[in-house]
Structure 1
Amino acid sequence: MAARLLAHEVADLCLGKQPLKSLSISATVRQALIILKSTDDTHISIWNCDHHHSISDQTFIDDCRCVGKICMVDVICYLCKEDNIKSPSSALDSPVSVLISGVPAVVRHVEPAASLVEAIDLIINGAQNLVVPIKSRTTINAKRKQLQRELSIAPTTHAGGYEFCWLTQEDVIRFLLSSIALFSPTAAYSVESLGIISSDILTVNYHSPASTALGAIKTSLADQTSVAVVDDDGILIGEISPFTLAYSDETAAAAIATLSAGDLMAYIDCGGPPEDIIRVVEARLKERNLKGMLEEFSAYSSGIPLINGNSSFSSDEESPPSPATMKSGRFNRSSSYSARITRRAEAIVCYPGSSLVAVMIQAIAHRVSYVWVIEEDCSVVGIVRFSGMLEVFRSHLESMMN
């Protein structure tokens, strides 16, 4: 059993994975926004391709690399910058490269034959997504090719008829969970006894301006964690999670600029922003004379999305969502959103005595890569991350190999 697990390759984890939705690094933020709002995926990959290829014998050389990934949170944080929130429409015409994280090796290319242990090592060392070539299973029709040209989407099929998928930390954890019996009794140990509770956490006071948490939101996005919202006594009230914020509309930037941390939780919570909070945001934008964002936010609340007006589509088949569909941000921006698991602003928690396998299941069930650890009085102890869990499994696998 152990030998069978160790024999697995990265390709085994790619079964059933969909090809990446790709965007050229030469695209604009506006084009990235269109893709984000018209797909079920929370992230899109950014590619730098040189198709001035050469042919030697029968070998086709295609220099094309994934250089990063972006999500709606990247757009929101970018629009929160002082100059950008004054003129969001102009900011959207910037190159998409301004959104790419400066953290090295967040995205890594790996071969399908790479071992499971190699994949785990890459994630422990900082990789969040492993880009893996897969045989093309789709045919891109003429209309879709036209859309790709208009949006500067990088071609997803490369030399040899390959496309690419990517593996996340969650994919690896799910795979290990399917063989959890092999990790007995380690999987039944508490997260406290395993020493994987990190006290390096990000917090913001419930009554503090949400804008004071902007740096923490950016950091939590890069670290795949979250920002704890606490009261004056350090009691956990909820969280501002990039996993939840990723389903928001880009005009959540206006909410971050004008609301308290507590009100921001309500703004991004399931069901859409309450009408009274929307009115508060509009009033405060007016007070601060943020005319550009006020115009866009007012248009958004009326059902006219921020991105309309500067994009062209060649067919109804590939057109972006209608204003009615996109009006309530993340809640309706995809026609199949209801099929996805929604996230609330309530924090996902466990206790120091919770078992490793229980915490794994919690995180997977809620589609996050971390779980908050609290005491009985709800005070925050720390956080358990997928990367910490993988270190435990890696150590166990090491013992299997010896």
Structure 2
Amino acid sequence: MAVSFLALEVSDLCLGKPALRSLSVSATVRDALAALKNSEEGFISVWNCDHSPRIGFGEENDDVGCRCIGKVCMVDVICYLCQEENLLSPSDALKAPVSAILPKIPGLVMHLESSSSLLEAIDLILQGTQYVVVPLPSKRSSISRRKQHLKVSPSSSHNGREFCWLTQEDVIRFLLSSIGLFSPLPNLPIDTLGIISSDVLAVDYYSPASSAVGAISHSLAKQTSVAIVDGDGIFIGEISPSTLACCDETVVAAIMTLSSGDLMAYIDCGGPPEDLLRTVKERLKDKNLENMLQEFTILSSPTTDSSDEESALSPTRTLSKSGRLSRSLSYSARMVRKAEAIVCHPKSSLMAVMIQAIAHRVNYLWVIEDDCSLIGVVTFSSILKVFREHLETLCLDD
């Protein structure tokens, strides 16, 4: 049974998945920002395509020159604009090529053929790949042919062929649907499986939010988050890239003026409190960064009166999908009353952790003690490692 399970093709996990919206590597950061604001998914894939004729390749293989080289979301743009050289002139910074905001991590994006096995996909993820690109059944049309020549307008077709992401969540969901195969593994406590990592990205509640930009960028690439703790190591909450991705570029003003704890409240799903809006405005003036605020106002909403600074500072004012920010609070989430973060206990079972993470659409869970002290983090990647080892055992038994 294990052998047949591992022989499953990745195409089986991609049924019904939407085609990737894409942007050419020759586009600018401004192009990416515009595309992201019109994206339902909240991200855009970046492609490097060479459509020059190739001798020996028929029309069915004319997509060989198209490769996805990365994935960008609003957090990439925000972290880029937080760089010192970009703060004084955001509009100039947005003229840079989109490659300027792509993570420089080899192997982060990899292609797999639809006939590749589930085992190949799991091995790629365990080697550090975060985004597995899989082709969808070919749909050639004159419309998609025309789209491939566009540089700025996001399209989903590359020479008539479409692709999708195979995510860690897709694989975990699939494993959960066949959880009986892995008994008794799913019922074991996570602290006995060696999957709780103490190597976490954490910042002090009172530390400047600007000092957390590097950690935020790193957590985005690793599909985790940045923990916020107090001086005693008590877990208070998180700066989540998934929540930050729902903001617009004006949140940079808050990052440059607030503490990490205040930033957590600023990007909360309910929108920033009025007192924090005033604080950001006052501190920008103290730092002589009013020009930056005016540029963000223009970038974010060209039709808005630039004197309406307080309105421009609200990171949720341009959101049409506020529901993306909402999370139902489970029992574990309520254990940390000041946090939206999803947490679990070291004695939680593996299956409980998997279900909890999937229910809240996160790739990780913070692990805390009864007193809310932070122990570590459990990620989908570490969970997949345990299942991969268990599958090897099953194969030997077969």
**TM value normalised by structure 2:** 0.88
Provide the residue aligned with 1:315 in structure 2.
none
Equivalent residue of 2:150, what SS? helix
**Identity across the alignment (%):** 60
Provide the residue aligned with 1:348 in structure 2.
342
* Structure 2 runs not aligned, ≥5 long: 304-311, 329-338
Deviates more, 1:16-25 or 1:3-12: 3-12
Counterparts of 1:218-237 in structure 2 under 5 Å?
Answer: 218-237=217-236
Provide the residue aligned with 1:26 in structure 2.
26
Alignment of 1:388 with 2:372, yes or no, is: no
Equivalent residue of 2:231, what SS? coil
Residues 48 and 150 of structure 1: is their aligned pair in 2 closer, same or farther, counting only changes over 3 Å? closer
Contact 2:112 2:132 in 1 (8 A): yes
Alignment of 1:46 with 2:52, yes or no, is: no
Equivalent residue of 1:233, what SS? coil
| Distance (whole Å) between structure 2 residues aligned to residue 292 and residue 205 of structure 1 | 30
| Distance (whole Å) between structure 2 residues aligned to residue 197 and residue 227 of structure 1 | 16
Indicate the RMSD between aligned Cα atoms, in angstroms. Answer: 2.5
* Structure 1 runs not aligned, ≥5 long: 310-325
Residues 390 and 112 of structure 1: is their aligned pair in 2 closer, same or farther, counting only changes over 3 Å? same
Counterpart among 93, 100, 109 of residue 95 in structure 2: 93
Residues 250 and 338 of structure 1: is their aligned pair in 2 closer, same or farther, counting only changes over 3 Å? closer
Provide the residue aligned with 1:192 in structure 2.
191
Equivalent residue of 1:149, what SS? coil
1:276: how far off?
2.2
Residues 307 and 152 of structure 1: is their aligned pair in 2 closer, same or farther, counting only changes over 3 Å? farther
Equivalent residue of 2:66, what SS? strand
Give a deviation string over 1:339-395, Cα, whole Å, max 9, x none.
646359522111110111111111111111110011110000111011100000101
Aligned residue identity for 2:29: V
1:52: how far off?
1.4
Give a deviation string over 1:316-339, Cα, whole Å, max 9, x none.
xxxxxxxxxx995457534xx256
Equivalent residue of 2:192, what SS? coil
Counterparts of 1:258-269 in structure 2 under 5 Å?
Answer: 258-269=257-268
Contact 1:348 1:371 in 2 (8 A): yes
Contact 1:244 1:343 in 2 (8 A): no
Counterparts of 1:156-235 in structure 2 under 5 Å?
Answer: 156-159=156-159, 161-235=160-234
Contact 1:30 1:307 in 2 (8 A): no
Contact 1:206 1:262 in 2 (8 A): yes
1:274: how far off?
2.1
Counterparts of 1:102-121 in structure 2 under 5 Å?
Answer: 102-121=104-123
| Distance (whole Å) between structure 1 residues aligned to residue 122 and residue 131 of structure 2 | 11
Contact 2:23 2:151 in 1 (8 A): no
Equivalent residue of 2:157, what SS? coil
Deviates more, 1:383-392 or 1:249-258: 249-258
Aligned residue identity for 1:117: L
| Distance (whole Å) between structure 1 residues aligned to residue 68 and residue 9 of structure 2 | 21
Contact 2:173 2:358 in 1 (8 A): yes
Equivalent residue of 2:347, what SS? coil
Aligned residue identity for 1:119: A
Contact 1:131 1:165 in 2 (8 A): yes
**TM value normalised by structure 1:** 0.87
Give a deviation string over 1:189-216, Cα, whole Å, max 9, x none.
1110001000101111111111111121
| Distance (whole Å) between structure 1 residues aligned to residue 71 and residue 206 of structure 2 | 32
Aligned residue identity for 1:33: L
Residues 125 and 392 of structure 1: is their aligned pair in 2 closer, same or farther, counting only changes over 3 Å? same
Provide the residue aligned with 1:313 in structure 2.
none
1:29: how far off?
0.5
Alignment of 1:66 with 2:60, yes or no, is: no
